A and B are shown apart, each in its own frame.
Chain A
Amino acid sequence: MKGIIRKLFSPNQEAEIPTQPLDMNSHPNHQSGGENPLEPHQLVVCCGQSIGRQRNHNEDALFAMTTTLTGDNRVIPFGLYIVADGMGGHQHGEVASGVAIRTMATQLLNKLYLPLLSVKPVSPDESLQEIMQSSVQDAHIAILKQVPGGGTTLTAMLIIGDQMTIAHVGDSRAYAITRDGQIDVLTRDHSLVKRLVELGQLSKDEAAIHPQRNVLYRALGQGEPFEPDVKTIHLPGSGYLLLCSDGLWSVVPEHELYQIITKAKSSEEACKRLIEAANEAGGPDNISAILIRLPG
């Protein structure tokens, strides 16, 4: 074992949380809210980060905020989760990922969360997808200005009520894990190798060891014009969502991710095990993971 190994475990430490999520073991299935049949969802979230075993500094950044919006006899879960992986080799990869996360989170909270939180809630003029889109643009411009030449991936997930909206650039990933044994990637890697796999020019196994597997064709702070992938998906009824950098997914195969997440006794343990698994596999890159447990 070489190098410094640091592990940070910080469930929900990234942001102030107006309403603490309930403990996962005691979350209620129903709220006695008159005739309202909607069941208030409770999200339980854990984060984990590690520098890995081969790098000497951390260029990943993450943000996790879990809360609820209360009003009109109902409680709407609100969650914002972001993973950014700054580019090594480029100047200040860690600065780029930090700028991306701060800009993205600030914009989303200002444009969306604060107006909804105010005593007289104001619905935004823009659509959720437009807000996600423009916030990513703002992060892109912030990097161009503050870290010229820098680049980062960005995968952001906004959960409001029954919908999740994902904005994505680069090769960090979002997964949906259902209890019936399925693990689905919700994002599409903007990497050259992934594209070559899609075209049938490379096998999955070849891609995993391809020397250019880290080459992205789209990244924040790089290239114009610039457009993130944005989509909205109906939240699965139960299971987990996982956001992670390639430091996790490139060394821990999907079936193992599934096993770790579904076998763990708690989200904290699952998160810890995920980071350990990536380090046990060599820890070639910084590792970041946000695990969201859905109710049901």
Chain B
Amino acid sequence: MEPKSTSQESWQLQPGFTLADRYLIQSVIGMGGMGAVYRACDLHFPNVVKLVAVKEMINQAHDPVVRQTIVQNFEREANLLATLDHPAIPRIYDYFTSNERSYLILEYIKGKDLEAILNESEEPLQEERVIPWAIEICDVLNYLHSHSPEPIIFRDMKPSNVMINQHNHVVLVDFGIAKQFQIGQKGTMIGTEGYSPPEQYRGEASHLADIYALGATLHHLLCKRDPRLEPPFSFGERPLRKINPAISAGLEAIINTALQYSPEERYPSTQMMKEALLKVAQENGMLPILPSNMTKILDSEEMAKPIWTFHCQDEIRGSAMCYGTTIFVGSYDKHLYALNAQNGELIWEYSAEGGIVSRPAYHEGNIYFGSEDTRLHVVTSRYGRINWTYYTNGPVRSSPTIVEGHVFIGSDDGFLHAVHLNSGRRTWMVEAGSAIRSTPMVEHDKVYFGTESGDFYCLDFKGNIKWRFKAKRAITSSPVILDNVVYFGSLDGTLYALDSGSGWVIWRFRLGKGTISTPCVSADLIFMGAIDGVIYCIDTRTAKEVWRYTTDHQVTGSPILYKEAIYCGSVDGHLYCLDCSTGRLRWKLRTEGPITATPTVWNDMVFIGSTDHTLYALKA
């Protein structure tokens, strides 16, 4: 009856194999560190299909005394389980040991475990779904904890050990017998990492350990952050309602109590925890949920008021630029405006022949900007008088970058133009194959930019291509370089980090949707919007999300960082001010049209243009 095992890969029982002349193995339904769990058909019931679960444990101890002790412990626990009688505990039909393998024959539960249910769900599980299960888990744990003569500690509460059967009821599986089979000194992992309380690592496990692990399980279900991927005991660093604002404060409080570091600060019994859960369930059921009302109240409190506004004839889609006490901004009404930054008074206006959707640049008394009239315009900063213009063969939507006596600017004509500042003449132009709407970045004598066909180029100052990278869709987002890493986003839904010397991809971060927003990089953090409406904060070293803030529409503008705060506009019409380390909303400004521009900060003031034809100035 011993299955053949020819190699280490084929130690599993194969479908069709009959175990103990009775259990016809059908398939593997689970894998543990100690062996597999199989679905089998009990052949003692020839006229019906009686399914059983066969749990296999392989004894890994070499020492004969240790081996013997392990088998004895297994049999003692199996006998104990045979005495249990609860609807949420599978029945044990049989157990036996053969050579190094021991088997438990258990009731087969038709259903799914909570880990599978969570994996199938895009979102965290809903509170209304989780609370009834939590109450049932409390019930069965209470049954185990009040077992006489000795309480039984489950010890291994986690989503994969809780089955939800076809009637939506809880069944606990895996009574931790397998643990007896684990041996070792250094690095032996005790309990399930992630869900176990601190004291369990010290070898102490009372019923309060199960309460902690239940709290950890509920936390995982409700925020979909796997604690096994996080350092132990770090739930406090992932506040539930911050990750999933839909959770009620009452439920969050219950889970926080269950997750207390010190056992004596948790619920003293599962009965108490159950009562608290019932109370929250009642409260939630009785009070109608009015999330939209609550949002509205918050809005009015956190809504910012502008210091001044300036109205023009058409949409402001581009970003403003400040120099001295003057703010310069272009509009779709074809004008570039110079305003007094303190009070918004018009100083001068200059008329181009096409819309201005980019950010102007200042250099030695002149303002440089591109227009959809295909030209790069250069006007004096003081009076707005034209100095010279430079023609490209397509609308200019890229913003100029001025370095080393040259202005670098892209055009929809598919060329990057390097224009000499003194002569206004072209030094060179490089064909990029498609429109360039990103702003060129210049660092260490190299020019970096992306194109609408998804190419990203690194040129030297002579216009030679040093390297090239291809994204799957357009790169409208402008590159930013820090510590020899170039960051940019693409409409293919990826934020890229490339080695600026070689173009090799260091990491990629998947956004919910594409982006044309330009990243904002500080020492360890990178901020960026995307058209999924989210403002992301990502760790530059690990490429892991630190926080996210969801707005009500696309985020096509770019965030900026100023004094610990992130300022970013959204197509939902708001300018948001968020705490840069937590992503918490500080305030927002409502405008009458979508915001696609990037804010500008000067002298503790923030400036933002909106498609409602208005430039707003606020206190930062």
Q: Give A contacts to B, CB under 8 Å.
A: 35, 37-38, 72, 74, 76, 87-91, 123-124, 126-130, 145-146, 148-149, 151, 160-163, 165, 170, 190, 192, 195-196, 198-199, 201, 212, 214-219, 222-223, 225, 227, 229-234
Bound Cα distance A227, B60 (Å): 26
Q: Are A148 and B8 CB-contacts (below 8 A) given A130-B507, A192-B232, A233-B541?
A: yes
8 Å CB contact of B9 from A145, A192, A196, A230: A145
Closest partner residue, chain B, to A76 (CB atom)? B502
User: CB of B485 within 8 A of chain A?
Assistant: yes
Query: Contact: B501 with A38, CB < 8 Å?
Result: yes
Query: Contact: A196 with B198, CB < 8 Å?
Result: yes
Query: Contact: A231 with B541, CB < 8 Å?
Result: yes
Query: Contact: A89 with B187, CB < 8 Å?
Result: yes
Number of contacts between A and B (CB, 8 Å)?
132
Bound Cα distance A162, B483 (Å): 9
Query: Contact: A128 with B507, CB < 8 Å?
Result: yes
Give 1 or 0 for each of B437-476: 1 = CB within 8 Å of chain A CB: 0000000110000000000000010000010000000000
Closest partner residue, chain B, to A148 (CB atom)? B8
Closest partner residue, chain A, to B35 (CB atom)? A148
Query: Contact: B60 with A149, CB < 8 Å?
Result: yes
Query: Which residues does chain A contribute within 8 Å of B232, judged by CB atoms?
Result: 192, 195, 217
Query: Contact: A127 with B484, CB < 8 Å?
Result: no
Query: Which residues does chain A contribute within 8 Å of B543, judged by CB atoms?
Result: 129, 230
Query: Contact: A192 with B499, CB < 8 Å?
Result: no
Bound Cα distance A225, B229 (Å): 7
Q: Are A232 and B541 CB-contacts (below 8 A) given A89-B185, A162-B499, A162-B501?
A: yes
Give the shortest distance, in Å, between B356 (CB) and chain A (any CB): 36
Query: Which residues does chain B contribute within 8 Å of A38, judged by CB atoms?
Result: 501
Query: Contact: B189 with A222, CB < 8 Å?
Result: yes
Query: Contact: B229 with A214, CB < 8 Å?
Result: no
Query: Contact: A145 with B186, CB < 8 Å?
Result: no
Query: Which residues does chain B contribute within 8 Å of A74, judged by CB atoms?
Result: 501
User: CB of B99 within 8 A of chain A?
Assistant: no
Q: Are A218 and B506 CB-contacts (below 8 A) given A91-B60, A232-B497?
A: no
A-B contact pairs, 22 of them (CB 8 A): A37-B445, A72-B466, A74-B501, A76-B502, A88-B185, A91-B60, A128-B504, A130-B507, A130-B508, A161-B499, A161-B502, A162-B484, A192-B201, A195-B231, A195-B233, A201-B261, A214-B186, A218-B193, A219-B189, A225-B226, A232-B485, A232-B507
Bound Cα distance A274, B8 (Å): 40
Q: Are A199 and B261 CB-contacts (below 8 A) given A87-B187, A126-B505?
A: yes
User: CB of B184 within 8 A of chain A?
Assistant: yes
Bound Cα distance A217, B8 (Å): 26
Query: Contact: A127 with B507, CB < 8 Å?
Result: yes
The total of chain B residues at the interface (CB under 8 A) is 44
Q: A123-B505, A223-B228 are in contact. List 8 more A-B contacts (CB 8 A).
A: A76-B502, A127-B497, A130-B507, A163-B499, A163-B506, A216-B189, A217-B231, A231-B541
Query: Contact: A160 with B541, CB < 8 Å?
Result: no
8 Å CB contact of B231 from A89, A163, A198: A198
User: CB of B149 within 8 A of chain A?
Assistant: no
Query: Contact: A215 with B228, CB < 8 Å?
Result: no
Chain A residues touching B, majority SS: loop
Give the shortest distance, in Å, between A35 (CB) and chain B (any CB): 8
Query: Which residues does chain A contribute within 8 Å of B186, judged by CB atoms?
Result: 87-90, 214-216
Query: Which residues does chain A contribute within 8 Å of B344, judged by CB atoms?
Result: none
Bound Cα distance A218, B186 (Å): 12
Give the shortest distance, in Å, between B67 (CB) and chain A (any CB): 14
Question: Could you tell me which residues of chain B, from 165 to 209, have a CB within 8 Å of some CB in chain A?
Answer: 183-190, 193, 198, 201-202
Query: Which residues does chain A contribute within 8 Å of B394, judged by CB atoms?
Result: none
User: CB of B423 within 8 A of chain A?
Assistant: no
Query: Which residues does chain A contribute within 8 Å of B184, judged by CB atoms?
Result: 87, 89-90
Query: Contact: A127 with B542, CB < 8 Å?
Result: no
Query: Which residues does chain B contribute within 8 Å of A35, judged by CB atoms?
Result: 445, 460
Bound Cα distance A10, B412 (Å): 58
Query: Which residues does chain B contribute within 8 Å of A199, judged by CB atoms?
Result: 233, 261
Give the shortest distance, in Å, between A266 (CB) and chain B (any CB): 29
User: CB of B33 within 8 A of chain A?
Assistant: yes
The residue among B186, B198, B226, B505 with the most chain A CB atoms within 10 A of its own CB is B186
Bound Cα distance A153, B184 (Å): 15
Question: Could you tell me which residues of chain B, from 426 to 446, have a CB within 8 Å of some CB in chain A?
Answer: 444-445
Bound Cα distance A27, B229 (Å): 43
Bound Cα distance A232, B233 (Å): 26
Give the shortest distance, in Å, between B29 (CB) and chain A (any CB): 16
User: CB of B503 within 8 A of chain A?
Assistant: yes
Query: Which residues does chain B contribute within 8 Å of A146, judged by CB atoms?
Result: 8
Query: Which residues does chain B contribute within 8 Å of A230, judged by CB atoms?
Result: 542-543
Bound Cα distance A91, B63 (Å): 12
Q: Which 5 A-B pairs have the closest CB atoms?
A: A89-B185, A234-B483, A89-B184, A127-B505, A231-B541
Bound Cα distance A199, B484 (Å): 34
Q: Are A225 and B228 CB-contacts (below 8 A) given A87-B186, A130-B507?
A: yes
Question: Could you tell me which residues of chain B, from 496 to 548, have a CB within 8 Å of some CB in chain A?
Answer: 497, 499, 501-508, 539, 541-543
